[in-house]
Chain A
């Protein structure tokens, strides 16, 4: 041993130590020695503040969130968007530079156009919801013919609104009434004149003109096509589907808010549960939309009404786009994705280029999210401040997600 020790050159020893340190650092930056923060799923941190939650991660700094209309204080006021008030915006749709808002507690569809907010149809009254044109609408979409479709949730119908605000029933028949004179909803497939719904919420339209309805009260997703309403089979029991969107490949995605998961599958069914691994108790997906970022990458975006964050579906993971996961994530701040805060974001829609609109229900606002160029490699290696570039909310996407790109 003594002979061996004498033969090892000190210079060689120093070189070997440096090489070893370099290897350790290399492994560290490849993410093999660190825990996940930003992505949620296998190897990722839980979204909510449930047991086992890691330190809350924050959204992407290149994403910009700004308020379009509304204030924290609920109200009902038309006018300039800087003055307009909403009360519980639950869904948004956008087309031709106009943003349509399902202003649920005002029982109205509001529109934002040319810097002004106005009422397209409905409005608040004191009847307690008995004699309203719309009752707490919670879904809005642009229909196959360009008309506006509304989930008239409290009346258990899907309505069509003409450009001048005239209201027509698109699907849904009368259902039994309770002692207050309010319909309680029902469940029946068939022609649009005979079918029944129960608290329909989210709406989506595909390229073939089919309209999908997240029928929350019936715990089902319904499809309206060719004048017929059918139920899409699911491989299990959803608890409260509240949003639906159509992906690039024609498959549909569904938010199951109280079930804490997403469902996906072909429109012919069956829908299968899609749940990122290690999801905390606080995952309550709400709004869903297919949108493109500045790089043209189209992905499904999810608003999580419990953790107050926006996510993007990446492979079998969720990438945190805006907000702060965890119990401290509620707020109303505008700013970059890592600064912005939401309170029960409920509805999502795609706006212009690389742009989302968010119905921020708890903040009584509609927010615009500019997605920027989301570059996963940047987030993997250089995603923020901290010691020696140790990223704040660094993302490590799994190999599979990288291959998909």
Chain B
């Protein structure tokens, strides 16, 4: 479905079996289609937002769980479960997460990483954070306990050995906004390290890690990215965190602002999925966006 930025009725853009893993870059949406009639294998599709025209970029062995993209690359992941299940101590039969990539302009599909894990005792729950430069960044956890390490790793989208960028015990959230990487960690100020969270920030390609927020609720804090900035939800509030000066600013709060996941952010606005997941709300984030909203109203 697609909704005009100015609001209006949602319209169907593409109908295909088992569409999964949506990502948008510019005027193109990327999505995978499941196996189609006639024995057609799953495929990676590029859909033009203006016209709804779909172009098959590549045939795939499986659909995606999650897609991220940049101007140059489309990267997706898939959790693959082998046939033997229910035996937690047979690590060979544990699910495997496969990260693949393809050039946004079309080209061969590459295997970026194959990550083993996710058993009853290890929750690796691989999450793709985004593409920066020509590298894909993802988060993986090494265990279910609060003090287990979270790794933020990266690998070239063209395929090469992965490297660890961040290793943080007790980290639960991470996000990539432009060339800024942020992640949570247990607060060092709080007496009980698990009670509150701190948010750390690192500019890619530059040394140094900076704490940009502290004393945040650890559980209720999804990290969001929109328009190159990082936002954190805490109960009914939305905080902007990725300020260069280390500021954390509460953008809005209140019971009416209890939010579901952010759909996207663009041109000073954040689009938030809300309520029974049938309403997409548009929220101005900058002064200029507020002025534009008032004028439009």
Tally the A-B contacts, defined by beta carbons under 8 Å: 96
Which chain B residues numbered 161 to 206 have a C-beta less than 8 Å away from chain A? Answer: 161-162
Closest residue on chain A to residue B116 by CB atoms: A129
- B115 / chain A contacts, CB cutoff of 8 Å: 128
B121 on interface, CB distance cutoff 8 Å: yes
Bound-state CA distance A138–B89 (Å) is 8
Instruction: With A74-B142, A216-B84 as known contacts, state yes or no: A90 contacts B91, CB within 8 Å.
Output: yes
| Among A74, A128, A286: residue with most chain B CB under 10 A | A128
Contact among A127, A153, A179, A362 for B92, CB-based, below 8 A:
A153
- B122 / chain A contacts, CB cutoff of 8 Å: 74, 105
Produce 1/0 per residue, A74-111, CB < 8 A to B.
Answer: 10000000000000101000000000000011000000
A88 close to B91 (CB less than 8 A): yes
Band of interface residues on A: 35 or more
Produce 1/0 per residue, B143-176, CB < 8 A to A.
Answer: 1000010000000000001100000000000000
B92 close to A126 (CB less than 8 A): no
B87 close to A240 (CB less than 8 A): yes
B230 CB to nearest A CB, Å:
29
Which chain A residues numbered 177 to 221 have a C-beta less than 8 Å away from chain B? Answer: 179-180, 184, 198-199, 201, 216-217
A359 CB to nearest B CB, Å:
8
Band of interface residues on B: 20 to 34
A199 close to B161 (CB less than 8 A): no
Bound-state CA distance A343–B121 (Å) is 9
Which chain A residues numbered 124 to 172 have a C-beta less than 8 Å away from chain B? Answer: 126-130, 135-136, 138, 153-154
Which chain B residues numbered 82 to 97 have a C-beta less than 8 Å away from chain A? Answer: 82-84, 86-94, 96
22 pairs of residues in contact across A and B, judged by CB atoms under 8 Å: A73-B143, A73-B148, A90-B91, A104-B90, A104-B92, A105-B116, A128-B113, A135-B92, A136-B94, A179-B61, A184-B82, A198-B83, A199-B90, A201-B87, A201-B90, A216-B84, A216-B87, A217-B84, A240-B86, A242-B89, A344-B121, A362-B121
A interface, CB within 8 angstroms of B: 73-74, 88, 90, 104-105, 126-130, 135-136, 138, 153-154, 179-180, 184, 198-199, 201, 216-217, 239-240, 242, 257-258, 286, 305, 343-344, 346, 361-362
